[in-house]
Structure 1
Amino acid sequence: MTTPTREPAPETTAPRPQVPLLLAAVFLIYLGQMTLNPIIAPLSREVGLAEWQIGVTISTAAVMVVLTSQVWGRTSQSWGRKPVLVAAFGLAVVAMALFALLASLGMAGLVNGTLLFVLFVLLRGVGFGTAIAAVPPTAQAYIADVTPDQAARVRGMAGIGAVQGIAMVVGSVVGGLLSVFGLITPLVAVPVLLSAGLALIVFRLRREPRHELVQTPARISPRDRRVWPFLLAGFGMFTALGFIQVITGFIVQDRLGLDAETTGLLTGAALLAAGLGMILAQAVIVPRSGWAPATLLRVGGIIAFAGFALLIIDAGPMPLFAAILLIGLGLGIAMPGYTAGPTLLVSREEQGGLAGLIGATTGLTFVVAPTAGTALYGLWPPLPIIAGTAIMGIVAVFVLVHPRFRRLPAEPAGADPGAES
């Protein structure tokens, strides 16, 4: 009697990483935010809110990013990317649908004063701020999981920045064009866009099997000597940006003497210039240059500094748009260095915590900078731009001279967790 020959088990191939879907999630959440940005300044004046109240609203969103980013980042490793993104997009849809309703009531004069301001803070600040905090850390931690070397890691992180830049371009165009039909139109469009993102995640994003998850993601300290120089550089870059981002609409309206609808259109054009610079940087320059993270920070920091300095000059629309383009280009080159560099120095178990820490650091800059920027603008319009220029100059010097940016490994390494200075 012969024993039957057992057929070899078929080889199972691991499913391909779903990086494009994660990038689509980043794109759609930022598209919702960027569609609103061109009309936030004229909207505030239409409903009777002061510049500082809009600054507080944006700063509240940043506080929520600081408070929740690390939690989201670690949770994305222990629960999986899909549950985290479904929760985030669901919250974003509800918050922005209610925000659109509130704004329409405010423009009709049915809600005003302190109540309007508090509801602006709760919906746009707390609700949407908590939701958007989940998405970049989830994408960054995932890309760190699936990229095997420095070059792939930098390209992956540049992809996140590139889709953010594309969202800035598309959102600026959509927000600016829709504002021609009234400020309420882009407000209604935002929850519709976010609902499309939610549907994409629910029906297309694959949930990881439990063995691929990290059961106990590690915390990582902002004082960790492997990462704090990157965090400090990123903090400076985004603080400089925060000083001018919220006041861009006010700069456009006041320097060019425009009404509310035209301000929305041309603010969209200004943000479009920044987005084009970012796309050029992260879709073309960063992938083709092959530069290491430190080089990206140095080159990008110098270019962004030049853009901030040019923006100080009130010389009409062309220098204004050129300055914003340079700022987008410079920060677009520097950002992958900021996000990819420290991921080469920490273990897999620390990647979610690190991604959340990067998101929290970026969010921290918008706790104070928008409120300070709008307050300084009320004192003297060039003042927040001068402050941003000085901070960007300090960052450019720091990344040139600090030794951490001269000692980066070419391959990801599982460094000793908790090494602090």
Structure 2
Amino acid sequence: MTNLEPHSTVALGEQKSQIPLLLCAVFLAYLGQMTLNPIIAPLSREVGLAEWQIGLTISAAAIMVVATSQFWGRRSQSWGRKPVLIAAFTLGTLVMALFALVAGFGMQGLITGTSLFVLFVLLRGLGFGAALAAVPPTAQAYIADVTTDEAARVKGMAGVGAVQGIAMIAGSVLGGALSAAGLITPLIVVPVLLLAGLLVISFRLRRESRHELIAEPTRVSPRDARVWPFLVAGFGMFTALGFIQVITGFIVQDRLNLNASTTGLVTGAVLLAAGVGMVLAQAVIVPRSGWTPPTLLRVGSLVALAGFALLIVIAGPVLLFAAVFLIGLGLGTAMPGYSAGPTLLVSREEQGGLAGLIAATTGLTFVIAPTAGTVLYGLWDQLPIIIGALMMFCVAVFVFVHPRFRNLTAGEPAARG
């Protein structure tokens, strides 16, 4: 039995008018992140940092996502969406402006070695990770709060994923294109994008009245029987992705024998293929299919597994692009099932905590996987890809055999653990 009812006392038309603004916030936050992705590998080599140091920087950001997501998710229900997002975008703008400055000094040789590494971890890792952690839980908790049926809930969660995918496309294009003018250019643009998000939220997003808020949102345990199978599936999917996401630039540069500037451009194109697959899934396949969350997880995990299998094969750029496209398509199909499924089983007071828990679970995968992926890549360039494929295989088996997914599909009452 699902737990769906209209939750807010605000008129539904007014509620819905806020969803595009929240999706805009998600888009701008992730556009800032994705604009950096095409250049992070060549940037590390340009400033003299090892692969594992960049992996650890990304893992530090993930640690902050894990540590703060439930806090942000619950605060979005008790403080309101607007104050949370203003705090997040203000922090993100400041730390990424400082990161651009530090990276510029690093490229000029003014800051090097351990000092540069520590600043990378503090700014791009801990600071930006804490800021980014607030955005998806705030949007997801709001969508769960205002949607009144399963199809609308899944479509709303797919919307969050779709704008993330669009941000991946736009960021890949933007970061890759700007890198042609020098690696410092995308670094300067990122805080500008975050500042734009801050202005949109400050001047356009309505602040909820006190009676719309929840004074004491409920914390959701990761051991709750209603949600932990979804968390396991999501953890496996994003761990598999984490093993290859940070090393994509290295794969491109080493397999295709490219220089640093060309690597940024081609890596942007490869990430663009993943983004196209993700947007196609979440903007077209998910809304039109009408599939339940378990079905989305099953279909998506199988498609992503096929992409990982192709990525293992070294056969030139065409197969590389096809593999990454399938991974994006598969994960884009599975993600709304992962994020929407457990929201159908919990109360309104738990939605903020659940949204934070889902974001924390996703972040947890990037605590270890990027560092492990870069270290393993240094040992053997195929090893992190093979491990990612094995993880995705385990996810596919799990979502087919675990009774939680069979029960939800059959519409049986949800257990409370």
Aligned residue runs from structure 1 range 203-352, under 5 A? 203-352=203-352
Aligned residue runs from structure 1 range 24-35, under 5 A? 24-35=24-35
Correspondence for 1:137: 137
Aligned residue runs from structure 1 range 123-202, under 5 A? 123-202=123-202
Distance (Å, rounded) in 2 between the aligned partners of 1:52 and 1:336: 32
**Conserved 8 A contact 1:150-1:410:** no
Question: Which structure: larger Rg?
Answer: 1
Distance (Å, rounded) in 1 between the aligned partners of 2:372 and 2:309: 19
Give 1:408 shift: 1.9
Matched, 1:95 2:95: yes
Distance (Å, rounded) in 1 between the aligned partners of 2:11 and 2:330: 41
Distance (Å, rounded) in 2 between the aligned partners of 1:130 and 1:412: 38
Give 1:407 shift: 1.6
SS of the residue aligned with 1:311? helix
Aligned residue runs from structure 1 range 58-137, under 5 A? 58-137=58-137
SS of the residue aligned with 2:198? helix
**Conserved 8 A contact 2:95-2:124:** yes
Give 1:303 shift: 0.2
Matched, 1:385 2:369: no
Distance (Å, rounded) in 2 between the aligned partners of 1:258 and 1:225: 49
Question: Which residues of structure 1 form unaligned runs of 5+?
Answer: 1-11
Correspondence for 2:7: none
Taking a change above 3 Å as real, the CA distance of residues 13 and 119 of structure 1, as seen in their structure-2 partners, is closer
**Conserved 8 A contact 1:345-1:412:** no
**Conserved 8 A contact 1:344-1:409:** no
Superposed CA offset, 1:225-263 (max 9, x none): 000000000000000000000000000000000000000
Superposed CA offset, 1:363-415 (max 9, x none): 000000000000000000000000000000000010001110012279999x7
Paired residue type of 1:59: S
Distance (Å, rounded) in 2 between the aligned partners of 1:191 and 1:228: 36
TM-score, scaled relative to structure 2: 0.96
Give 1:158 shift: 0.2
**Conserved 8 A contact 1:31-1:167:** yes
| Structure 1, 116-125 or 13-22: larger mean CA deviation | 13-22
SS of the residue aligned with 2:133? helix
**Conserved 8 A contact 1:149-1:412:** no
Distance (Å, rounded) in 1 between the aligned partners of 2:25 and 2:412: 25
Superposed CA offset, 1:274-333 (max 9, x none): 000000000000000000000000000000000001000110000000000000000000
Give 1:16 shift: 3.7
Distance (Å, rounded) in 2 between the aligned partners of 1:121 and 1:264: 21
Distance (Å, rounded) in 2 between the aligned partners of 1:210 and 1:154: 28
SS of the residue aligned with 2:216? coil
Give 1:218 shift: 0.3
CA RMSD, aligned part only?
1.4
SS of the residue aligned with 2:119? helix
Question: Which residues of structure 2 form unaligned runs of 5+?
Answer: 1-9
**Conserved 8 A contact 2:78-2:217:** yes
Paired residue type of 1:226: R
Distance (Å, rounded) in 1 between the aligned partners of 2:370 and 2:15: 41
Distance (Å, rounded) in 2 between the aligned partners of 1:394 and 1:35: 31
**Conserved 8 A contact 1:273-1:325:** yes
Distance (Å, rounded) in 2 between the aligned partners of 1:151 and 1:130: 32
**Conserved 8 A contact 1:150-1:412:** no
**Conserved 8 A contact 2:62-2:367:** yes
Taking a change above 3 Å as real, the CA distance of residues 158 and 411 of structure 1, as seen in their structure-2 partners, is farther
Paired residue type of 1:292: T
TM-score, scaled relative to structure 1: 0.95
Superposed CA offset, 1:106-149 (max 9, x none): 00000000000000000000100000000000000000000001
Paired residue type of 2:146: V
**Identical positions, percent:** 76
Paired residue type of 1:156: G
